Amino acid sequence: MEKVSLKKDTNILQYVKENRKDNVVVARIDGRLVDLDTTLDSEKEVELISINDDEGLQVLRHSAAHVMAQAIKHIYKNAKFAIGPATDSGFFYDVDVGRTLTISDLPPVEEEMKRIVRADYSFKRKELSKEEALSYFSNDEYKIDILRRIKDSKVTLYTQGDFTDLCGGPHVPSTSFIKYFKLLSVSGAYFRGIETGPVLQRIHGACFATEKELNDYLHFLKEVKKRDHRRLGKELDLFHITDEIGAGFVIWHPKGAMLRHLIEQYEIREHLKRGYELVKGPELLRSELWKKSGHYDNYRELMYFTKVENQEFGVKPMNCLGHIAVYASKKRSYRELPKRYFELGIVHRHEKSGVLHGLLRLREFTQDDAHIFCRADQLNEEITKVLDFVKDTMDIFEFDFSLELSTQPEKHIGSEENWRKATQALQQALEKTNKEYRINEGEGAFYGPKIDVKLKDALRREWQCATIQCDFALPERFNLVYTDKDGREKRPVMVHRVILGSIERFVAILIEHFTGDFPLWLAPVQARILPVSEKFLSYGMEVYKRLSERGLRIEIDARGETLSRRIREAEKAHIPFMCIVGEREKERKSIAVRQRKKGNMGNFSVEAFSNMIDEMCKNRINQTA
C-alpha cells in the first residue's frame, strides 16, 4: 500500500500506468475504495492498493466472480444471477441456469473465463437510478429482489465486454488482471438462505495473485480431502452417520468408541488431578429454569422442548444449570471455594440440516464441561489455572493454539459494572500467558465475556476448542451465595469452561490432524497379531491373551488370506504394529514385530514388546513421526 498526493483532474489509472505501478488494482480516497479509473475533482491524498494487499486481493476475487458470470452467460444464454462475493480463498456465484450443474460442467466455464481474461475487457462503472436498474433487469427475478431491498435511490452497474452486472464495486481495471484461478465445486444453495426459496447452483472458485499461491492452495485442498474425517472415519471403521437414525446423530463403532474412551479417560484423570469433582446433571430440565437462566429468551431457537404431564421441559444445550443445582444444594462457606464441578455432559442443539458436517457440527454431542464457583479475589487465579490446563492439553495432543478475547454483545444480561469486572479478569489472565491475543468486540456470550482458544492443526487450520466464560449474571439470577468470614452472605463468580469443547468435534480434528495415524497412546488398536497360517493360530491366541492381560489393545487376524495381504490391510487400517507368529516364533515363544511405515523391527519376547509399548505410551511417543 502506497500513499500519494495527486492533483485535481488526475486520472488515477493513468497515473498508475505512467509510473509503472503494475500491481496496483484499486485505490482508497477519503476512506473509501474506488476504481482506478477515477478522475479526481480536487487535490487528494490517494492510497494505492496492490493486488498483494488483502483489500486488493478481495477486489481481484470479486472481479473473478464477474468474469465467471460472463462465461456462464456465454454458455447458458438464459442464465440468471443472484450474488457473487469474494471469499477468503476466491469467490462464488449463485446462478440459475435452468438445470442442476455437476462438476463436469465446470471445465467449459473455466475455459471461457480464460478467453475473457485474454480479451482484456475493461471494467466500466455506470451509476443510474434504481428505477432504471429495475427496468434493465426486468427479466431477472433475483436481481429484482436484490434491487428492491436496496434503500438508496441510486445504484451502480459494471460492464466488461458484453456482460453487465449489478454491483457496488470497485473492480480491477480489466479482466487481464485475473490470471490465476481454478473452478472447484458446485452445490445447491437457497436464494437468500431461505429454505423455502428457490434452489440455485453455487459455483466456487479459487483465485490468487500469483501462480505459486494458487498451486499451494490447490495442494492444500488435496491434503484436506486426504485427511477428511468423514472418509477416514469410514475407512478406519470408527463411526457413521445415517439418515435412518437421523442427521446430526453419531453411531460409534468399537474402534471409534475406544478412541473416545481414551480421550475421556485422559480428561477425567487430568480434571481430578487439578481439583475438579465429577458431577452429572439431567438432560431434561423444566422450562422455568431455562427462563430463569435467560436461555429461553436468548437461546431458544437452538433448543428442543417436550411436554411431560402437561409440563414443558427443555433438553439441555449446555450443562450449567445442573452444576448450579449442585452448588445450590446446600449452604456454602468461603472456606469451600473454589468449587470446581466437571461433567462429560451430553447436550442437544437444534442445528439446521444445512450446517451439519460430519462430527464437526452435530445435533447431539458431548462437552467436557466444567463450572468453577469462586470468590471474586480467586477469579484471576482460577482463569490462569484453566489457561495452564489448556496449554498442557494442547501439548499432549500436539497442537499449537492462539487466543481471542470476546467482549460484551449487544444482546446480554447483567450489569455494566459486572461486565467490566469480568472482562478485566479475563484480560489480566491473558496477559500472564505472554501470548498475543486478539479482541473480538461484541462476540461474548449473552451472560459474560469469554476467552476462545483456537487450536492449529497440521495444515495450520484454526479450530474453536477451549473457551473460558466469566459470569456474574447467573449466580445472581439463581441467588447463589456463600458465607464469608465476616458472617455475611456474598455472591460467588461463576466460570464456565471447556478444554476440548465437543468431544465429537475434537475427534474429527484429531483424525484430520494425524490423517488417522494416531499417536500410540491414542490408537484404538495398538497391534494386530498375524499368524502365518492356521497352524499357528493357537500360539497367536496365546500371544493375544498375554498382551491383552498386560493392557494392550490387540486384534488377531487369522483369516485364510496370504500374510502379505493381511500386512497390507493392517497398514491400510493404520494399525501401528503387526505381531507375526510362525514356526520360529512358536519355538522361541517370541513375536516378529513389524512397525507401520518403518518395516521389520526383529524378534521380541512378549514381555519386551509390551514394555516397549508401555514406554512409548508413557512418553507420548508418536510412532508414525
- Rounded CA gap, 50 and 46, in Å? 13
Question: Contact at 8 Å (CB) between 50 and 36?
Answer: no
Residues 35, 37, 165, 369: which is the catalytic one? 369
361 is catalytic: no
Active site residue 320: yes
Is residue 125 flagged as an active site residue? no
Q: Return contacts of 192-196, CB within 8 angstroms, 24+ apart.
A: 192/82, 192/145, 195/352, 195/354
Q: Are 287 and 315 in contact (CB under 8 A)?
A: no
The amino acid occupying position 355 is V
In this structure, which amino acid lies at residue 353? S
The Cα 69–Cα 199 span in angstroms is 17
- DSSP line for 191-234: GGG-TTS-EEEEEEEEEESSHHHHHHHHHHHHHHHHH-HHHHHH
Distance CA 437, CA 129 (A): 46
Name residue, grid cell 487481464. 176
Is 234 annotated in the active site? no
For residue 87, CA distances in Å to 90, 92, 204, 206, 354 come to: 5, 7, 9, 9, 19
Whether 526 is a known active-site residue: answer: no
List 371, 513, 566, 594, catalytic entry: 371
Residue of 66, 179, 323, 349 marked active site: 349
Q: Give SS3 for 11.
A: strand
N residues, the chain: 625
| Cell numbers placing 530 | 498375524
Catalytic residue among 295, 496, 497, 566: 496
Candidates 172, 390, 169, 178; CA nearest to 271 is 390
**Among residues 584, 591, 582, which one has the least CA distance to residue 610?**
591
Give burial (CB, 10 Å; 0-12/13-18/19+) of 358: buried
- DSSP 8-class letter at 338: P
Distant-in-sequence, close-in-space partners of 403: CB < 8 Å, separation ≥ 6: 430, 433, 435, 436, 437, 438, 451, 452, 453, 454
List all residues 6 or more positions away from 618 whose beta carbon is below 8 Å from its beta carbon.
Answer: none
The cell numbers describing 465, all together, are 476448542
349 part of the active site: yes
Which set of grid coordinates corresponds to residue 357? 458436517
Active site residue 28: no
Residue among 320, 374, 465, 579 flagged as catalytic: 320
Question: Coil, strand or helix: which one is 379?
Answer: helix
- Give, as one character, the DSSP assignment of residue 389: H
How far apart (Å, rounded) are the C-alpha atoms in residues 81 and 93?
7
Q: How many CA atoms lie within 13 A of 435 on its CB side?
A: 18
71 φ, ψ (degrees, to nearest 5):
-65, -40
Indicate the Cα dihedral angle 252, 258, 259, 265, nearest 10°.
120
Amino acid present at 279: V
Determine which one of 367, 378, 408, 526 is catalytic: 367
Catalytic residues: 320, 349, 367, 369, 371, 450, 496
